[in-house]
Amino acid sequence: MLSIRSSVARQFANAAKAHGVRYASTKVRPMYRPAQSTYAEYPVAPRQRASVTVQDTLAEIIPERQAIAKELRPNTFFIVTRTGSQHGDKVLGNVTVEQVFGGMRGIKAMVWEPSVLDSEEGIRFWGRTIPECQQVLPTAPGGKEMLPEAMFWYLLTGKVPSAEEAKAFQEELVSRSTLPEFVEKALDALPTSLHPMTQFIIGVAALNHDSQFAAQYKKGMKKADYWRPALEDSLDCVAKSFTIAARIYRNTYLGGVKDMPALQMDKDLSWNFANQIGFGGSEGFVEVIRLYNALHTDHEGGNVSAHTTHLVGSALSDPFLAYSAALGGLAGPLHGLANQEVLRFVLAAQKKLGDFPSDEKLKEFIWDTLKSGQVIPGYGHAVLRKPDPRFMALQQFGESRPEVAKDPVFGYVNQLYKIAPGVLTEHGKTKNPFPNVDSASGSLLYHYGLKQFDFYTVTFGTSRSMGALSQLVWDRALGLPLERPKSLSMAAIAKLIKADIPGLKQ
């Protein structure tokens, strides 16, 4: 550990020298140690730590990123005393009335480190495309799909973990997965008629009871140390969200948790989740849920769940409260429910047209849907203007497995991909006629036996926690302030653009 601390000190010194920055101190303070919980009546599983941990890795990286951000915008950092920058007053873009009324789409207004979404290329995680991530991120023993834990490490650090680091990180996360007894009791007491997402929100919010960030903030800590307990809470939140999700599934659909399998510490989060909801024996389900979790982790910061995490976290609410708020947004029909709508559309088409209809019949069905004023779910995206690379990864997974490829429901996914873009282009009311990730995800879950549509968004929520909370750690590491954009009334907008609108008081 001494060498790690020395490395941190060198990172500070080197960054200062390279950027002409004078740090308040290059003395390395003792590594953060979580405070003893004041709630000892709720047992917590012992935690496993790798020889090189994600905590150590971030401690080395953060000073360098802080120095870079200081160059872009002065006075961002509590740790840097130099003033002035040649970039702080540079213009990133203009804001139009259309954008203000149109959900702020396209406004460049957030810092988001783990991923950037390009309208043509799709998502890049720390500069890597999905196929590139699939090539370099470690897989589970005997598996072919990238481990979500490896993706989580990568999103947090921007560095590809070794197989050993990914394995140790997986073990640490699984060791954190056990729920406090009071959370288990709270979830078990909820009516099974309550929507699974509402149960999920309650479970994650309740974890705030043991928040290390909240406890350390109350005791008093330096701003430079905010990221450390934020990271600890974020790791707990991600790990425990899988166990919360599994418990919700068993209570809601399987009659309770009496026979719920125990966590297996040598297995990954996705395997344990699959096993606890009854799919541990399905190699195909385990692999697809690994891929699903890795692909859904992050999609830059402007989507509702990611932005909500950032916004609520900017008030220095702890990660549990921030992410429970995000889950409320994810539960909305315009965000996390889309794959359900796709599957309902496909099943309705199958009921009317049968298995493997002709292209002409499916084309006619699509036109009838559009002419009735409805949309084709799973097509179009607020940013993308090409097929979603996440869709392509899921489609390739299905096509690589004979049992999926011959499934008529998955067959509809492929057939729609061939026909729908042309129809939507001819229809002329969409900027992006191509499929997004929701076009394929639901059909794969359905194929392997997960047929409870209301639960699909919960699986989205376990995955998205990794991306949203990775950035929340960076929010605290970079010292980003409380988010507070300016709002305008319609009268104020009209005045600014010098528009004389009848009936509008200036």
Is residue 85 domain-resident? no
Is residue 77 domain-resident? no
pLDDT at 268 over 60: yes
pLDDT at 51: 55
218 and 345 share one domain: yes
Q: Mean pLDDT over residues 241-246, rounded?
A: 99
196 and 221 share one domain: yes
25 and 123 share one domain: no
pLDDT at 43: 37
Q: What is the pLDDT of residues 200-212, one digit of tens each?
A: 999 999 999 999 9
Q: Mean pLDDT over residues 488-493, rounded?
A: 94
pLDDT at 90: 85
pLDDT at 120: 80
Q: What is the pLDDT of residues 401-433, one digit of tens each?
A: 999 999 999 999 999 999 999 999 999 887 788
pLDDT at 21 over 80: no
pLDDT at 246: 99
With a pLDDT cut of 90, the percent of the chain lying above it is 76
DSSP-assigned states of every residue in 27-60: PPPPPP-PPPPS-TTS--PPPP--SS-HHHHHHH
Q: Could you tell me the pLDDT band of residue 319, with boundaries at 50, 70 and 90?
A: very high
Average pLDDT, the chain: 88
pLDDT at 67: 86
Q: Mean pLDDT over residues 447-473, rounded?
A: 98
Q: Mean pLDDT over residues 329-345, rounded?
A: 91
Higher pLDDT: 40 or 284? It is 284
- Specify the number of domains making up the chain: 3
CA–CA separation, 466 vs 150, rounded Å?
11
pTM for this structure? 0.86
Is residue 273 domain-resident? yes
Least confident segment among 121-135, 375-389, 482-496 = 375-389
DSSP-assigned states of every residue in 435-473: B-THHHHHHHHHHTT---GGGHHHHHHHHHHHHHHHHHH
Is residue 60 domain-resident? yes
377 and 459 share one domain: yes
Q: Mean pLDDT over residues 257-281, rounded?
A: 97
177 and 268 share one domain: yes
pLDDT at 115 over 80: yes
Q: Mean pLDDT over residues 132-147, rounded?
A: 97
139 and 35 share one domain: no
Do 293 and 133 meet the contact criterion of CB atoms below 8 Å apart? no
Is residue 257 domain-resident? yes
Is residue 185 domain-resident? yes
Domain hosting 122: range is 110-484
3-state secondary structure 120-170: CCEEEECCECHHHHHHHCCECCCCCCECHHHHHHHHHHCCCCCHHHHHHHH
Q: Mean pLDDT over residues 247-259, rounded?
A: 97
pLDDT at 74: 60
Q: What is the pLDDT of residues 56-102, one digit of tens each?
A: 999 999 998 888 888 876 655 544 334 445 777 889 999 999 999 99
Q: Could you tell me the pLDDT band of residue 360, with boundaries at 50, 70 and 90?
A: very high
Q: Could you tell me the pLDDT band of residue 503, with boundaries at 50, 70 and 90?
A: confident
pLDDT at 20 over 50: no
Q: Mean pLDDT over residues 232-260, rounded?
A: 98
43 and 58 share one domain: yes
Residues carrying an active site annotation: 335, 381, 438
pLDDT at 69: 83
**CATH code at 449?**
1.10.580.10
381 and 233 share one domain: yes
pLDDT at 85: 57
pLDDT at 66: 86
51 and 136 share one domain: no
Do 91 and 97 meet the contact criterion of CB atoms below 8 Å apart? no
pLDDT at 429: 80
pLDDT at 75: 59
227 and 283 share one domain: yes
pLDDT at 18 over 60: no
250 and 394 share one domain: yes
Q: Mean pLDDT over residues 153-170, rounded?
A: 97
- Exposed/middle/buried for residue 86 (C-beta within 10 Å: 0-12, 13-18, 19+): exposed
CA–CA separation, 319 vs 187, rounded Å?
20
SS3 percent helix, strand, coil of the chain, rounded to 5, is: 55, 5, 40
Is residue 183 domain-resident? yes
Is residue 157 domain-resident? yes
168 and 31 share one domain: no
